[in-house]
């Protein structure tokens, strides 16, 4: 199996599973507790059906949209995800370059293995930074300042990760970062010599954005869980979020909003957008899926807020349903991480090409010339 | 596999299966008829989603709740279950001490294998006695008086077990109490020698609350279904319950209420609480799940007595859902019985610790710092 055999999410996932040591694969693949929210994120799209219109002389559909003040070529982008160098030795460089090629957002996590400056140097495409509020305020301030200097286009603040989710697969595989060799995991690393070779020969593994401020996660083996619980501030409030919005003074999103009243508050503190997300089912299991919740939020906020649906998207038709239900655009993490693991930059490009083609094809089949034509009338919910 | 590998309900269950002779494991694990109610008890939680609120500052979470006038540090307690020394040689002693350590309540069954007097000498945190209404009034009076003398805090009258449920696994495995060696079970007992050694060397198996009055289950092998069907008084009515309630003179609950009408009558006869329960799906198969029925009952009587939701809980998020609907507390039997079998007191403590950690984490992710912050706005039912 190679990249040319990857036609959809499950193909990329399969190839990633072949290429990655199992603790790392399961870190991507897993969710919290019983993973019921993880499953629901995708299943929820199946509770409604698309209703096409025919003979609409569609021609070539226009997939352009605007997110966080930036025109992007299609209504999807890459969600911020941590530690991409674990999945491929090119890490964020690969995903940033791939996104630029397709004219859409690449997003950088606070816990990326490349620095803000490094990525700004290699990509002039749209860039979003994902901020975590650390207990040490100076870390937060420093990150915002550096993003401004490096001309990142948007900032998003993660609000659903005050405490790490219960990712039981990580307990079992002993996943830490940097990867720690345990008896359990040794076998799995030994079976993936290519990954190990690349990991050790392509530069040091570090949390480039926070390495001067904390040594956690950089030179000692820590589980991500411990990092989150030690470094992130669980007392974070609306005031703190407002502070970040003002300090950034540009397009700003809250990532992880689910409640309608929280979406309204996001408008009040000056946000441009929210990412309706449950962190890919990795945090609160049993929480609502983004697609189940998106239309209620759109009804409440009208056109005062961009809504990014983050989570569960596997197909072009999922994107169409999300947009018809009220989303401005969709983003995904797990899906592109599998493509990154499967083939680095080429893998991510192949995935984005596939998704582009699916969205394009399905727009034609729906009889829609542009994304604005996608609205509630195109959906019928099953009882 | 050992206790350290147990991270959740299903891990404890797996380890219990390894440690117990199969008739005993299946006595815990099984339920009535086709076990549809047993399955529904847990799957009912998946028909509703949690909707978290963000940015509320959630550094410190208080899980305490007050039921039957007693403040517990946790919003769940260990429901009374019979025959615990079959599952681990310490039986009720282990469970009681574990509950005491976390300052939560636990229940002692009339069919317990350790006496109320001994429990009272070991545990001074809140205790509940689970009463079965026997034909033998002398036995009934003795149970009541002994529990009162031992200063138990709550009396719970079981009202859903007027006859034994059809537990077909027990028919197949030949489960009786005390365990009887039959050709079919011999192999299973022989392959778990540790269980056999402990059972035979750690003190005589007895039912101290019954032994002066009945032979069944104490020195003749009887199936639990047979016991209920022959010994309990099937003519028990509301008058009998009312009489017991006033005879007890303290906090009194009916265990196994499902209909709104009965919940109202419980108020009328002076109960201070009810357990919405179907006896863990072990009695009437096809009956409604506690969580499915909870809202109606809370709406009708929630301000007049403590409504406990009992059954199906396997996760902290399940408890959050029940508490959001208005339950004062959650309880369960299998919740800790597998853990008891897996590791005695240490096992039960590990299980409680796991659920507690889940609750703290999930409360933070929900944006809640105390149990009273939970309400129905936190929930969305799927269509």
SS (H, E, C) chain B: CCHHHCCCHHHHHHHHHHHCCHHHHHHHHCCCCCCHHHHHHHHHHHHEEECCCCCECCCCCECCEEECCEEECCCEEEEEECCHHHCCCCHHHHHHHHHHHCCCCEEEECCCCCCHHHHHHHCCCCEEEEECCECCHHHHHHHHHHHHHCCCCEEEEECCCCCCCCCHHHHHHCCCECCCCCHHHHHHHHCCHHHHHHHHHCCCCCCCCCCCCCCECCCECECHHHHHHHHECCCCCHHHHHHHHHHHCCEEEEEEECCHHHHHHHHHCCCCEEEECCCCCCCCCCCCCHHHHHHHHHHHHCCCCEEEEECCCCCHHHHHHHHHHCCCEEEECHHHHHHHHHHHHHHHHHHHHHHHHHHHHHHHHHCCCEHHHCCHHHEEECC
Of A168, A238, A286, the CB nearest to B317: A286
For residue A154, what is the enclosing H or E element?
Answer: strand A154-158
**With an 8 Å Cβ cutoff, are A254 and B321 in contact?**
no
Residues B134, B137, B143: CA angle, nearest 5 degrees: 75
Q: What topology is assigned to B3-381 in CATH?
A: TIM Barrel (3.20.20)
| Residue B177 confidence (pLDDT) | 76
| Residue A222 confidence (pLDDT) | 62
Task: Report the C-alpha gap between B201 and A344 in whole angstroms.
Answer: 62
Q: Which of A293-302, B21-30, B125-134, B184-193 has the lowest mean pLDDT?
A: B184-193
Q: Which chain A residues are Cβ-neighbours of B55 within 8 angstroms?
A: 159, 236-238, 240-241, 254, 262, 265
pLDDT grade for B368, boundaries at 50, 70 and 90:
very high
CA neighbours within 13 Å on the CB side: how many for B287?
Answer: 21
A330-346 pLDDT per residue, tens: 999 999 999 999 999 99
Task: Report the C-alpha gap between B338 and B323 in whole angstroms.
Answer: 24
Pairwise pLDDT comparison (A182 vs B180), residue with the higher score: B180
Q: Which chain A residues are Cβ-neighbours of B362 within 8 angstroms?
A: 284
Quick check: B52 and A287 in contact, CB under 8 A? yes
Chain B closest-CA separation from residue A216 CA (Å): 21
Task: Report the C-alpha gap between B106 and B129 in whole angstroms.
Answer: 9
* B76-81 and B106-109 strand pairing: parallel
Q: Which chain B residues are Cβ-neighbours of A244 within 8 angstroms?
A: none
Q: Which residue has the tokens 């239900």?
A: A325
A312 contacts chain B (CB < 8 A) = no
Residue B301: pLDDT over 80: yes
Chain A closest-CA separation from residue B128 CA (Å): 31
Instruction: Tell me the percentage of chain A whose pLDDT exceeds 70.
Output: 95
**With an 8 Å Cβ cutoff, are A235 and B58 in contact?**
yes
Instruction: Tell me the percentage of chain B whose pLDDT exceeds 70.
Output: 99
Of A166, A234, A262, the CB nearest to B53: A262
- Chain B's closest residue to A157, CA to CA, is B55
Q: Which chain A residues are Cβ-neighbours of B383 within 8 angstroms?
A: 47, 381, 383
Chain A closest-CA separation from residue B49 CA (Å): 5
Residue A221: pLDDT over 60: no
Interface of B with A (CB under 8 A): 5, 7-8, 45-46, 49-59, 314-315, 317-318, 320-321, 357-358, 361-362, 364-366, 377, 380, 382-383
Whole-model pTM: value is 0.91
Number of domains in chain A: 1
Query: Mean pLDDT over all residues of chain B?
Result: 94
Domain ranges of chain B: 3-381
**With an 8 Å Cβ cutoff, are A163 and B51 in contact?**
no
Q: Which residue has the tokens 């949690």?
A: B50
A237 contacts chain B (CB < 8 A) = yes
- Chain B's closest residue to A279, CA to CA, is B365
A285 contacts chain B (CB < 8 A) = yes
Q: Length of chain B, please?
A: 383
| Residue B203 confidence (pLDDT) | 87
Residue A243: pLDDT over 70: yes
Pairwise pLDDT comparison (A139 vs B267), residue with the higher score: B267
Q: Which chain A residues are Cβ-neighbours of B365 within 8 angstroms?
A: 160, 162-163, 165, 283-284, 287
For residue A28, what is the enclosing H or E element?
Answer: helix A22-29
**With an 8 Å Cβ cutoff, are A237 and B51 in contact?**
no
CATH assignment of the domain containing A86: 3.20.20.70
B53-89 pLDDT per residue, tens: 999 999 899 999 999 999 999 999 999 999 999 999 9
Interface test with A, best of B51, B321, B353, B383 (most A CBs within 10 A): B51
A246 contacts chain B (CB < 8 A) = no
**With an 8 Å Cβ cutoff, are A165 and B8 in contact?**
no
Mean pLDDT value across residues B118-144? 96
Mean pLDDT value across residues B193-204? 87
**With an 8 Å Cβ cutoff, are B54 and A47 in contact?**
no
Q: Which of A135-139, B323-327, B343-347 has the lowest mean pLDDT?
A: A135-139
| Residue A182 confidence (pLDDT) | 67
Domain that holds residue A311: 3-381
Query: Mean pLDDT over all residues of chain A?
Result: 92
Q: Buried b / exposed e across B38-75, counting CB within 10 Å, b at 16+?
A: bebbbebbbebbbbbbbbbbbeebebebebbebebebb
- Chain A's closest residue to B354, CA to CA, is A166
Q: Which chain A residues are Cβ-neighbours of B46 within 8 angstroms?
A: 36, 286
Pairwise pLDDT comparison (A142 vs B175), residue with the higher score: A142
**With an 8 Å Cβ cutoff, are A284 and B317 in contact?**
yes
Mean pLDDT value across residues B345-355? 98
- Active-site hit among B88, B134, B279, B318: B279
Structure tokens at A383: 């009882």
Instruction: Tell me the percentage of chain A whose pLDDT exceeds 90.
Output: 74
B218-272 pLDDT per residue, tens: 766 777 888 888 889 999 999 999 999 999 999 999 999 999 999 999 999 999 9
pLDDT grade for B180, boundaries at 50, 70 and 90:
confident
- Kindly list the catalytic residues of A: 279
**With an 8 Å Cβ cutoff, are B380 and A288 in contact?**
yes
Which of B231, B237, B221, B227 shows the shortest CA–CA distance to B139?
A: B231
Of B5, B317, B364, the CB nearest to A163: B364
Which of A152, A142, A88, A79 shows the shortest CA–CA distance to A118?
A: A152
Of A163, A240, A259, the CB nearest to B51: A259
Mean pLDDT value across residues A225-238? 83
Q: Which chain A residues are Cβ-neighbours of B357 within 8 angstroms?
A: 166
Q: Which chain A residues are Cβ-neighbours of B364 within 8 angstroms?
A: 162-163, 234
Q: Which chain A residues are Cβ-neighbours of B52 within 8 angstroms?
A: 160, 258-259, 284, 287
Quick check: B241 and B145 in contact, CB under 8 A? no
| Residue A220 confidence (pLDDT) | 47
CA neighbours within 13 Å on the CB side: how many for A267?
Answer: 14
| Residue B189 confidence (pLDDT) | 84
| Residue B305 confidence (pLDDT) | 98
**With an 8 Å Cβ cutoff, are A293 and B380 in contact?**
yes
Interface test with A, best of B2, B55, B316 (most A CBs within 10 A): B55
């Amino acid at each position: 199996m190679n990249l040319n055999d990857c036609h959809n999410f499950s193909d990329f996932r399969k190839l990633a599973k072949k290429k990655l040591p199992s603790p790392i694969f399961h870190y991507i693949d897993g969710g919290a507790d019983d993973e019921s929210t993880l499953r629901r994120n995708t299943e929820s799209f199946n509770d409604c059906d698309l209703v096409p219109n025919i003979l609409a002389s569609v021609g070539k559909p226009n997939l352009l949209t605007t997110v966080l003040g930036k025109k992007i070529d299609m209504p999807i982008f890459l969600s911020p995800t941590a530690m991409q160098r674990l999945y491929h030795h090119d890490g964020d460089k690969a995903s940033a370059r791939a996104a630029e090629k397709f004219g859409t957002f690449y997003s950088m996590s606070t816990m990326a293995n490349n620095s803000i400056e490094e990525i700004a140097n290699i990509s002039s495409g749209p860039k979003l930074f994902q901020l975590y509020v650390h207990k040490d305020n100076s870390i937060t301030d420093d990150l915002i300042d550096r993003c401004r200097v490096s001309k990142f286009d948007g900032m998003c603040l993660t609000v659903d990760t005050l405490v790490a989710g219960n990712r039981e697969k990580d307990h079992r595989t002993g996943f830490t970062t940097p990867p720690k060799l345990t008896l359990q995991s040794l076998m799995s690393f030994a079976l993936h010599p290519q990954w190990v070779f690349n990991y050790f020969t392509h530069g040091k593994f570090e949390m480039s954005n926070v390495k001067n401020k904390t040594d956690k996660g950089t030179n000692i083996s820590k589980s991500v869980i411990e990092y989150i619980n030690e470094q992130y501030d669980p007392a974070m409030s609306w005031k703190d979020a407002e502070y970040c919005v003002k300090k950034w003074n540009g397009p700003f999103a809250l990532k992880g909003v689910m409640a309608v009243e929280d979406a309204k508050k996001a408008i009040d503190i000056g946000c441009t957008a929210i990412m309706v997300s449950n962190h890919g089912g990795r945090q609160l299991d049993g929480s609502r899926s983004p697609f189940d919740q998106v239309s209620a939020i759109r009804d409440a906020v009208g056109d005062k807020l961009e809504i990014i649906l983050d989570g569960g998207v596997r197909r072009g038709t999922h994107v169409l349903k999300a947009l018809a239900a009220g989303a401005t655009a969709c983003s995904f993490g797990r899906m592109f991480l599998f493509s990154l693991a499967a083939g680095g930059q080429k893998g991510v490009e192949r995935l984005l090409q596939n998704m582009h083609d699916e969205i394009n094809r399905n727009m034609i089949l729906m009889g829609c010339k542009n994304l604005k034509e996608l609205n509630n009338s195109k959906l019928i919910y099953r009882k | 596999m050992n206790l350290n590998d147990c991270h959740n309900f299903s891990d404890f269950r797996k380890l219990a299966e390894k440690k117990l002779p199969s008739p005993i494991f299946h006595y815990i694990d099984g339920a009535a008829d086709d076990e549809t109610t047993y399955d529904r008890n847990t799957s009912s939680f998946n028909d509703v989603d949690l909707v978290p609120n963000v940015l509320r500052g959630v550094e410190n979470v208080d899980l305490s709740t007050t039921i039957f006038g007693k403040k517990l540090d946790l919003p769940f307690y260990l429901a009374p279950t019979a025959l615990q020394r079959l599952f681990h040689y310490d039986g009720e002693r282990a469970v009681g001490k574990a509950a005491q350590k976390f300052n939560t309540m636990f229940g002692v069954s009339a069919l317990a294998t350790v006496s109320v007097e001994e429990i009272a000498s070991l545990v001074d945190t809140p205790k509940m006695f689970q009463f079965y209404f026997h034909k033998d009034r002398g036995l009934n009076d003795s149970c009541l008086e002994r529990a009162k003398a031992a200063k138990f805090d709550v009396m719970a009258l079981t009202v859903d077990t007027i006859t034994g449920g059809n537990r077909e696994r027990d028919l197949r495995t030949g489960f009786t109490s005390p365990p009887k060696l039959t050709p079919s079970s011999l192999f299973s007992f022989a392959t778990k020698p540790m269980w056999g050694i402990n059972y035979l060397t750690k003190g005589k198996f007895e039912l101290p609350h019954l032994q002066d009055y009945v032979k069944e289950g104490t020195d003749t092998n009887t199936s639990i279904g047979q016991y209920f069907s022959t010994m309990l008084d099937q003519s028990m009515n509301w008058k009998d319950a009312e009489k017991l309630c006033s005879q007890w003179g303290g906090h009194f609950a009916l265990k196994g209420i499902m209909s709104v009408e009965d919940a109202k009558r419980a108020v009328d006869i002076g109960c201070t609480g009810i357990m919405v329960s179907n006896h863990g799906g072990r009695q009437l198969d096809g009956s409604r799940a506690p969580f499915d029925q909870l809202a109606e009952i809370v709406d009708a009587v929630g301000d007049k007595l403590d409504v406990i939701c009992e059954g199906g809980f396997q996760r902290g998020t399940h408890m959050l859902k029940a508490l959001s609907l208005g339950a004062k507390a959650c309880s369960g039997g299998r919740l800790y019985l597998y853990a008891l079998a897996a590791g005695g007191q240490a096992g039960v403590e590990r299980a409680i610790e796991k659920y507690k950690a889940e609750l703290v984490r999930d409360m933070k992710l929900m944006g809640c710092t105390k149990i009273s912050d939970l309400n129905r706005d936190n929930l969305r039912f799927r269509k």
